[in-house]
Homo-oligomer: A and B are copies of this chain.
Amino acid sequence: MKRLSGQFWDRVQDDLEKIETALKNNLNSHLDLVSEVAGHLLFSGGKRLRPLLIILCARICGYNKGDEINLSTAVEYLHAATLLHDDIVDGAALRRGKPVANSIWGNPITVLVGDFLLARASSIAAGTGKMGIIRVMAEIMEEMSQGEIDQLLRKGDLKISENDYMRVIEQKTAVLFQGACQTGAIIADAEKKKEKALSGFGLNLGIAFQLIDDLIDYISDTKTLGKEAGTDLKEGKLTLPVIHALKKASPFDRDCMEKIIRNNEFSFHDFRELIELLEKYKGISYVKDRAAFYIQSAKESLSIFAPSEYKEILMAIADYTLVRNT
What 10 A-B pairs come out closest when comparing CB atoms? A119-B141, A89-B108, A119-B142, A116-B145, A122-B138, A123-B138, A115-B145, A126-B138, A112-B149, A126-B135
Q: With A122-B138, A134-B134 as known contacts, state yes or no: A152 contacts B112, CB within 8 Å.
A: yes
A104 within 8 A of B: no
How far apart are the CA atoms of A68 and B300 in the complex, in Å? 44
Do A142 and B126 form a contact, CB below 8 Å, given A85-B112, A112-B148? no
The answer on a CB contact under 8 Å between A108 and B142 is: no
Q: Which residue of B lies closest to A108 (CB)?
A: B89
| Complex Cα gap A246–B148 (Å) | 46
Looking at the assembled complex, report how far the CB atom of A22 sits from the nearest CB atom of chain B, in whole angstroms: 17
| Contact A88/B108 with A29-B146, A139-B123 known, Cβ cut-off 8 Å | yes
Taking CB atoms, residues of chain B closer than 8 Å to A149 are 31, 33-34, 109, 112-113, 116
- Does A251 sit within 8 A of B, measured CB to CB? no
Within 8 A of B (CB), among A17-51: 29-31, 33-34
Chain B residues with Cβ below 8 Å from A112 are 85, 89, 145, 148-149, 152
A80 at interface by CB-CB < 8 Å: no
Which B residue's beta carbon lies closest to that of A139? B123
Task: Out of B88, B129, B142, B144, name the residue touching A123 (CB < 8 Å).
Answer: B142
- Most central of A89, A90, A125, A129 by chain B CB within 10 Å: A89
19 further contact pairs, Cβ within 8 A, besides A90-B108, A126-B137, A126-B138: A85-B111, A85-B115, A89-B108, A112-B148, A113-B149, A115-B141, A115-B145, A116-B142, A119-B141, A119-B142, A119-B145, A122-B138, A122-B142, A123-B135, A123-B138, A123-B139, A126-B134, A126-B135, A127-B135
For chain A, give the interface size range: 35 or more
* Cα distance A116–B123 in the bound complex, in angstroms: 17
Chain B residues with CB under 8 A of A116: 142, 145-146, 149
Contact in complex: B141, A118 (CB < 8 Å)? yes
> Which residues of chain B are within 8 angstroms of A231 by Cβ–Cβ distance?
none
- Asked whether any CB of chain B lies closer than 8 Å to the CB of A232, the reply is no
Question: CB distance B142 to A131 under 8 Å?
Answer: no
Among B108, B119, B145, the residue within 8 A (CB) of A152 is B108
Residues A122 and B146 in contact, CB atoms below 8 Å apart: no
CB closest residue in chain B, given A82 = B115
Q: Hey, what's the 0/1 contact readout for A133-162 against B, CB within 8 Å counting as 1? A: 011011101101110111011000000000
Q: Given A122-B138, A126-B131, A135-B126 in contact, is the A146-B109 Cβ separation under 8 Å?
A: no
